[in-house]
Amino acid sequence: MKVIIADQINEKGIKELEDVADVVVNTSITQEELIEEIKDFDAIIVRSRTKVTRAVIEAAEKLKIIARAGVGVDNVDMAAATEKGIMVVNAPESTSITVAEHTMGLIMTLIRKISIADKSVKEGKWEKSKFMGIELNGKTLGIIGLGRIGTQVSIRAKAFGMEILVYDPYVTEEAGAEIGVRVVDLEYLLKNSDVMTIHVPLTPETKHLISKKEFEMMKENAFIVNCARGGIINEDDLYEALKNNIIGGAGLDVFETEPPKDSPLLTLDNIVVTPHIAASTKEAQRDAAIIVANEVKKVFTG
Ligand code: NAD
C-alpha cells in the first residue's frame, strides 16, 4: 500500500502510517505532478495547500481514501470522489479547543485594544487613556452555531462570567439549557449581545448571514468575531459598519478572499485580523495527523 503525504503534517501521523504502508512525503508537489503521480497511490493525505481536484481524482487508478488532516474539506472535490467511490475523511474534532481558544484571544484583543496598544508602545508612545477597555464579566456573548467549536467557546466564555445566547436552528432550547446557554432567534441574539462569535459552516444558507441589516440590529458598541469561514460576514457591509461606528469592532481569522490583500478592512483601527490560523497549534495539528493516519490505516488493514 502506498500513501502520499502532500502537505506538511505532524511526524506522529507519518510514523503511524509507516507501520502499514510505503509513505512518500512530498509537500511541494504541484498540481501537475500530482495528476501524473497519483495513479501509484492508495491514499493521499492533505491539509489545505493541496487541492484534490476532479483532475487529480480522475487520474487516480487505485486511490481508496483521501484524508484531510483538519476540518473543512473545501479543497477536495467531493462529487468527483463520490462518483469514484473514494472515501473522504477529516478530523473535525481535532481543532475545536484550539479554535475556541483563538476565538477568546481575538475577543480579548478587541475589547482591551491589545494590538493597537502594542503598536503604540512600540512606536514610543504611552497613550494610556486612549486604550480604555471593557470587561467580559457580566456581558452577553452571542454564539452563532453551537457545534463542536461553539460549545467549547461557551464553556470558556462562562468562565469569564458571560451570559450566553445561542442562535442555531438545529439545537433545541432544552439541549441549550442543559449546557447553560439560552437558544434564541438570530434577531434577538443580534440585538442583545455585547460580543458575537460565528461558528457555522459556510453554506448557501449562511453566506452573508451577517450583512447590513444585521449590523444595524446590533448594539452600538458590539463586537463580532469570525473564526469560521470568510463569506459568512458580508465584508463590504462590515467595512461600512466599522467605519461609521455602527458597531464597536471586529475580529477576523477568515476572509472572503485569502489573503485579503487590498481589503479596505485592513485600514481600520477597530478590527483585529489573523491569517487563518485559528486551528494552528501544535496540539491540534498533532491530533489531526494522528486521527487521519488511523483512518487510512483502518482502510488498509480492513
Ligand atoms: P460543527 O459542525 O460541529 O458545528 C456547526 C454548527 O453550526 C452546528 O451546530 C449546526 O447546527 C450549526 N449551523 C448550521 N447551519 C446553521 C445556520 N444556518 N445558522 C446557525 N447555525 C447553523 O462545526 P465545528 O467543528 O464547530 O466548526 C464550525 C466551523 O468552523 C466549520 O464549519 C469551519 O468552517 C470553521 N473552522 C475554521 C477553522 C479556522 O482555521 N479558522 C478551523 C476549524 C473550523
Type and span of the H or E element at 25? strand 22-25
CB of 146 closer than 6 angstroms to any ligand 1 atom? yes
DSSP classification of residue 233:
B
Contact present, 10 and 50 (Cβ < 8 Å): no
Looking at residue 179, its pLDDT comes to: 96
pLDDT mean over 101-122: 98
229 is catalytic: yes
CB of 68 closer than 6 angstroms to any ligand 1 atom? no
Query: Cα of 147 to ligand 1 centre, how many Å?
Result: 6
**What's the Cα-to-Cα distance from 56 to each of 6, 31, 83, 292, 300, rounded to whole Å?**
12, 8, 13, 20, 21
**Backbone phi, then psi, for 210, in 5-degree steps?**
-110, 105
CB of 167 closer than 6 angstroms to any ligand 1 atom? yes
Type and span of the H or E element at 137? none
Q: How far apart are CA 62 and CA 257, in angstroms?
A: 34
Provide DSSP, 267-281. G-SSEEE-SS-TT--
* Neighbour tally for 206: CB within 10 Å: 18
Among 155, 199, 274, residue to substitute to test ligand 1 (most atoms within 8 Å of Cβ): 199
256 is catalytic: no
Which amino acid type is present at position 88? V
For residue 108, is pLDDT > 90? yes
Looking at residue 302, its pLDDT comes to: 80
What are the pLDDT digits (tens) for 4-48? Answer: 999 999 999 999 999 899 999 999 999 999 999 999 999 999 998
102 is catalytic: no
What are the pLDDT digits (tens) for 151-163? Answer: 999 999 999 999 9
What are the pLDDT digits (tens) for 239-296? Answer: 999 999 999 999 999 999 999 999 999 999 999 999 999 999 999 999 999 999 999 9
Q: How far apart are CA 214 and CA 289, in angstroms?
A: 38
Looking at residue 72, its pLDDT comes to: 85
**What number is the ipTM of this complex?**
0.99
CB of 113 closer than 6 angstroms to any ligand 1 atom? no
